[in-house]
Structure 1
């Protein structure tokens, strides 16, 4: 596939609560050829020790929209950076809606963005237990 007729995508994740890259996060890539078109799963990868996915699948010709799905739950549980309810509050929260089922507030992050053929899109995810931010990088 020529980069003149397709866009390309890369990403990385920084755990802002720890101040380091988020390694071992599964990332899935999907694409579609218009707003009303169905999503096509293209495959995925996992972040390396530097928090980067270096082997995301290529986008098919005609792609107009891309979705990156980050499986943040496993990472946040593994690193212990998910939210924790102190013991004295646990009883008070028994009747309240709970986020504790999975142990994390954001078990996954899905980012959808539009692309133009021939351009590269680097979309970093800045992650912490109660928030995240994304931007178009370089």
Structure 2
């Protein structure tokens, strides 16, 4: 079985993005498998679930954070789709700024 964590970084101010709601969903379903809030270090670990092989979506609810940190919001929801193919720990960082975001497969 595989595990998952995520990390959100505010690249405009060079700090972790705390207080962002994150949800993990199966790719073909709208039901949430687990959700939580990023901690003071901008991290959240999905400890209540182990991932089976398949497709998933991470939803980062960024609107209130962007409003408070950047004074506006262009991307109110960031969805990251990914595939679990083998047993390992998966880590998905999100780099966030007022008008852009990027992500990658972390370690």
Partner of 1:12 in structure 2?
7
- Cα distance in 2, alignment partners of residues 38 and 47 from structure 1: 23
Alpha-carbon distance, 1:113 to partner: 0.5
SS of 1:77's partner is helix
Pick one of 18, 22, 37 that aligns with 1:46: 37
Alpha-carbon distance, 1:58 to partner: 1.2
In terms of fraction of residues, the more strand-rich structure is 2
Q: Which runs of 5+ in 1 are unaligned?
A: 1-5, 83-102
Where do 4+ consecutive residues of structure 1 move more than 2 Å?
A: 37-40, 54-57
Pick one of 72, 76, 79 that aligns with 2:66: 76
SS of 1:23's partner is coil
- Cα distance in 2, alignment partners of residues 14 and 77 from structure 1: 15
In terms of Rg, which structure is larger?
A: 1
Partner of 2:55 in structure 1?
65
- Cα distance in 2, alignment partners of residues 60 and 70 from structure 1: 18
- TM-score normalised over the length of structure 1: 0.70
Aligned residues: 107
- TM-score normalised over the length of structure 2: 0.89
